Amino acid sequence: MQTMTFDRSMRSYRMFLGVLFLLMAFLLIAGCSPREPIKIGFVGGLSGRVADLGFSGRDGAILAIEERNATGGINGRKVRLIAVDDKQNPAQAVKVVNDLIEKGVVAIIGHMTSSMSMETVPIINKHRLVMVSPTTTTTYLSGKDDYFFRVNATTQQYAGRMAQYMANKAGYRKTAIIYDMNNKAYSESWIEIFTRQFEHEKGVVKYKQAYLSGESVSFYDVIKKVPVHEIDALILVAGAMDTAMLCQQVRKQGLDLPITAAEWAATERLIELGGQAVEGIIVNQFFDRTNKDPKYVEFRDAYQDRFGDEPGFASVNAYDAAVLILNALERQEKGKSLKETILNIKILEGVQGKVRLDNYGDADRKTFMTSIKDGQFAPLE
């Protein structure tokens, strides 16, 4: 009887050791397995008429994340970027942002246009998810205690600066404005601020014409309606593709009319598509392409090596937006939200100088006036 009891005890002991061994092996394997990557979303127009902005922004974010992963990621965890296309369409923007939330992203870089940001800010606020836009400038999102941040200034700065330059440096007094309603939140905000500042500088906006960008728009008709004999300059508030096509129509119709373009158009695609038609036009800028600061030169060289192209303003701003999120994730303390952490950062060392954030996540960033000369953006100041 004692022998049988002893045998049963030994079998139980061996079973216990076996289970313990398997458990230890499992824990060892689990401990050696790579941890789940941190997911960050990117949302912008990756198709259609504003795709140049979207791809440029996406690539800037990719570079920032790849560089961070090469140095160990965030506290030992790799970072994965999930890029989606909002197609510059409100319903699609809502869909893809909800998709990113379902996939468990900790933050979103985007949108690249003001109108799309306006559509999805209520969603990210509801889910308390930080969104950092590289290029949204509408004042309609300014001064709000929400989860929307940006790394560029608003139309208050850019449109106001353009008005001052046109009136005081270029000497224009009577203008007409053509603007794209497909980015209404940006265009209307820009025009409102420009008009107010231009009138303050003793100028007058004689004519305003809206159009809705798309395959069916007739740029010939848009330009034909402009009262060219009543103005001394034309202002275009549109993306790079549309601005290039509008400039071509101005030249085709034989109009010797000075043209200025809002910062939305200031991508390399404007020059590529516009050719001679965009020579001499004045373009507002988010950044300085001639910057010689070592930090920017290092970024530019890395971007060229990775993507084979010159970085544009969307690349620079999206890189800065990604770095802001990555720095905040690295500094985030237990019990503190990502929103709180970003607001406590206050100043981001961007690739072209400091980006200062206020208590609402709105940024201060310098503006640059340029003119297109010999197929290049040339500084005017």
**Of 229, 259, 285, which marks where a domain is finished?**
285
Here the tokens at position 331 are 């500094």
**Tens digit of each residue's pLDDT (9 = 90 or more) over 169-212:** 999 999 999 999 999 999 999 999 999 999 999 999 999 999 99
Alpha-carbon span 315 to 308, nearest angstrom: 13
**Of 243, 260, 285, which marks where a domain is finished?**
285
Alpha-carbon span 12 to 175, nearest angstrom: 92
pLDDT at 16: 55
Residues of the chain under the 50 pLDDT cut: 1-4, 6, 13, 27, 29-30, 32
The whole-model pTM stands at 0.88
**Could you tell me if 227 and 251 lie in one domain?**
yes
Alpha-carbon span 123 to 93, nearest angstrom: 11
Alpha-carbon span 369 to 287, nearest angstrom: 9
**Could you tell me if 308 and 277 lie in one domain?**
no
**Could you tell me if 165 and 101 lie in one domain?**
no
Alpha-carbon span 49 to 55, nearest angstrom: 12
**Could you tell me if 194 and 141 lie in one domain?**
no
In the beta sheet, which residues pair with residue 355?
348
Structural domain harbouring 57: 38-152+291-366
pLDDT at 381: 80
Residue 23 covered by a domain: no
Work out how many domains the chain is built from and give that number: 2
pLDDT at 21: 56
CATH code at 236? 3.40.50.2300
Residue 52 covered by a domain: yes
